[in-house]
A and B are shown apart, each in its own frame.
Chain A
Amino acid sequence: MAAEPKNNCKIYLVSGKGGVGKSTVAAAIGHSFASRGLKTLLIELGYNSYFNYVFGRKFSFQPYNIKPNLDLAIWSGEECLKEFISYYIRLSTVVDLFFENKIMKTLVKAAPALQELAILGKLTSGFRKIGPELNYDRIVVDAFSSGHFLSLLRVPKGISDTISLGPMGQQSANIHKTLINSEICNYVWVSTCEELPVQESLEFIGLLNTDFNVTPKLILNKILRPQIPNMVDRASGKFASYLQNIKKREDWSTAEFVKNSKNYVESPFSFHASVEERIQYLSEVYSSYESFV
């Protein structure tokens, strides 16, 4: 039986439209937890990693320590599923048979929903007291972008609604329950101040609310407004008009969120050339926000 999970462990799932800086924000959130002394795991979903480019090394399924209190891992559905199966079928000969079997190989690779369930199953295993536990205070998931993220979240309910009998159905129902438990799972939605991301954010925050009764924390990323001198309105020239446009966009976007009663926090535009420095800088900003994380 798995050990009792730490009561204070919390999961943060980060999503948003592609290109808004979701991974950087997720990493900065992880950093700010870690610098407060909380043992934190940052997880990137998928086979190919953004963080490989940022930190200039290959990360994998096994957590790798990137700074004090902060580990980074990349989870693919296939590896999560393999781990789950090995954990349950303790008889090694059967495990070997399982993975050598051609049909099983195909099934593990391609059967609909299995990989998605395995990812969410591993993420929530400690809380459901099933499978190997993740021994961390905070887990931050740099998840898929908008539509793909919602499809992922819908899998456990989809399975448990139709296959309610047996371990698979029961576990799926439990995973869903854990995902919508606000004591455990927190959702973070990242947007930038441009028309397409703003509209997509309003749409998906709405869907998360109606489908999962979840209210994500909204982060407006790459905000430049506070760094623009006030005199820009009276200035002329191409650079000034570029800044005026940014200001106009940011004013419009924030007004749009206010109009739709969405609270947000601002994440500043960073001029650091290296993403690693950018993450460090943002994490310091986030740590200074009282209500933030």
Chain B
Amino acid sequence: MSWLDYFRAARKDEPPPSASAAKERLQIVLAHERIGRTREDFLPKLQQELVAVVARYVAIDPGKVKLDLDRGGDMSTLAIEIELPGPPANKPQQRAAAG
């Protein structure tokens, strides 16, 4: 029987069944979509306004803003990474522009 055991052992290394992944992914995506049905999705606007606030104080390059959204089951994270320019080298007029 030992050669049969070989096949049995090999089966245990199979990846976990995919149906549970399907269920989990559906539950998360639908939880978010159902909220969106009754309320407008505020995230794009939130992102815009946050970046606008930063831009009021620091001259930022709009091309150097990185947004990452991860919609999770219990918690979603929104990460906004804004690259700030280095200290202005002898540019006194910068101050006036920021004010």
Instruction: Decide whether A and B are members of one complex.
Output: no
